[in-house]
Amino acid sequence: MTNESIGRVVTAADPDYDEARKGWNECYQSNPREIVFCSDAGEVAAALRRCREQQLLFRVRSGGHSLEGYSSLDDGVVIDLSEMNSLSLNADGTEVVLGAGARLGDVYRMLFESGVTVPGGTCPRVAVGGLALGGGMGYLSRTCGLLTQSVVAMEVVDATGTILTVDKDNHPDLFWACRGGGGGIFGIATSFTLRTTPVSDVGISKITWSWDHFAEVFDAYQRWLPTSDSRVNTMLALPAQHYGIVAMSALSMTTQEELESLLQPLLDIVPAPQEAQFSTVPYVDAVSHESDLLDPQVYTGIRFGAVQPYFDGPLDPGGIALLRRLHAEARGNTMTFVLGAASEVFTRLAEGDPVAYPHLDALMSFDVRIDWTDASEDQGYFEWLAEFERDMRPYTSGTYLNYNDFNIDGRLYPRYRESFARLVEVKHHYDPENVFSFPASIPPSLTADDAQRMELPASAISALRASGRLTE
């Protein structure tokens, strides 16, 4: 074991340590004792076994975009997969094998050259590793499902350092858990095999209204969503009032004319827009175009906080008034992207191929983001996000585990909902010693006190009891 290669090790003594230790969000930076850059699954397995033998705490990192810095830690080891970023498309272009460190922008660009894509998220620097394990929502979700729903197989290094092939026939429970159960919990995913979808030109649109119409536009949008065609993918951007506008971006794998007619039922019930643009562009251009639809600054901030609650139903007038008030009071680069879900595609894909991601029935989610540069503003912005989440909680049905959760207080249930008890079982089976852990990870068992603190519903408690995962 001692002679096994674990990859390139960077420590504080190395000139590139500062660069190597950095995560994306300046708010959460750590000083690990080592960053180990692995180049294949064998090195990942060896690095993990070494951590265990030497009793070193470790975290796993692919793209480093964990909003709460969960992919790094002080004094421990970061097992980094960012250099495992290969892309290999099969001969007929129907499946692609991506290294966990492959970044979305590169994936979109390279796949587009072959006329295909995978339905991922909006940030080009986010890596497939953390994104696919947590869900992965983006431009094409309503049409093609979540990124994780395109995964047909994974290679996973388990807690013993064994390399597993994980798919519907091999380790099916782990396969289920790794699709929506989150990164850093069940094992280290070294590569993902994904089903691709053909793509060429797409219709895109940007429609803006005066901020004065905030409430009417939002209400019309949320009422239109459940009836809207799943070919339409939309994001309604609700910024802080000082931006002066609200805006909606839309993308469909159709011409602009078809997109326009698919959006007509919404346009019939919203106030008259200030501006409505439609065009037909290559998908890869649309993806870059979408990123700066509202304000490129939103994507370049170095200090960042974001929460993402889900809603199973529309907000009532009180909820809409609250949403409007929160944005009227918001400062800086505060922006809520209302992501339209409500697509039968999510549930249809899950029928034959269930995933742990628990929000497939949601009507919409709010991707609430703020970026800033001055550390002295951290507290104010985090308090605003915490207030947003707390005030909205009566209306929400859950939260996205790939975002911050300032009010979580150990309440993991909103992240996992009906999947929670089974995820604890899978965790116990594959990682009984809780080798993979961080403050918001799934434990291999719970005490009755934990269950109470987490405010677990009775159904989860009885499922945990039945599986022996709840100790008194």
- Residues binding ligand FAD (CB under 6 A): 24, 59-67, 70-71, 81, 100, 121-123, 126-127, 129-131, 133-138, 183-184, 188-189, 402, 438
Strand-pair category, 34-37 with 77-80: parallel
**Alpha carbons 290 and 139: distance in angstroms, whole number:** 9
Minimum CB separation from ligand FAD for residue 39, in Å?
14
Minimum CB separation from ligand FAD for residue 262, in Å?
22
**Alpha carbons 306 and 385: distance in angstroms, whole number:** 7
**By C-beta, is 135 or 203 nearer to ligand FAD?**
135
**By C-beta, is 213 or 303 nearer to ligand FAD?**
303
Asked whether 132 and 119 are in contact (CB, 8 A), the reply is no
Looking from the CA of 173 toward its CB, the CA atoms found within 13 Å total 12
Minimum CB separation from ligand FAD for residue 159, in Å?
12
Minimum CB separation from ligand FAD for residue 45, in Å?
12
Minimum CB separation from ligand FAD for residue 249, in Å?
12
Task: Name, in order, each residue with C-beta under 8 angstroms of 441's C-beta and a sequence gap of 6 or more.
Answer: 182, 184, 185, 434
- Phi, psi for 413 (deg, rounded to 5): -55, -45
Looking from the CA of 414 toward its CB, the CA atoms found within 13 Å total 27
**By C-beta, is 78 or 363 nearer to ligand FAD?**
78
Question: 398: how many CB neighbours lie within 10 A of its CB?
Answer: 20
**By C-beta, is 220 or 251 nearer to ligand FAD?**
251
**By C-beta, is 188 or 323 nearer to ligand FAD?**
188
Minimum CB separation from ligand FAD for residue 136, in Å?
5
- For residue 1 the two structure tokens come to 């074991």
**By C-beta, is 71 or 256 nearer to ligand FAD?**
71
Asked whether 250 and 137 are in contact (CB, 8 A), the reply is no
DSSP-assigned letters across all residues of 185-231: SS-EEEEEEEE-EE--EEEEEEEEEEGGGHHHHHHHHHHHGGGS-TT
**By C-beta, is 128 or 424 nearer to ligand FAD?**
128
Minimum CB separation from ligand FAD for residue 458, in Å?
30
**By C-beta, is 25 or 256 nearer to ligand FAD?**
25
Minimum CB separation from ligand FAD for residue 457, in Å?
25
Residue matched to tokens 């909902």: 417
Asked whether 269 and 184 are in contact (CB, 8 A), the reply is no
**By C-beta, is 45 or 131 nearer to ligand FAD?**
131
Minimum CB separation from ligand FAD for residue 60, in Å?
4
**Beta strand ranges found along 303-416 (DSSP E):** 303-307, 309-311, 333-340, 364-372, 398-399
DSSP-assigned letters across all residues of 288-333: HHHHTSS-GGGGT-SEEEEE-EEESS---HHHHHHHHHHHHH--SE
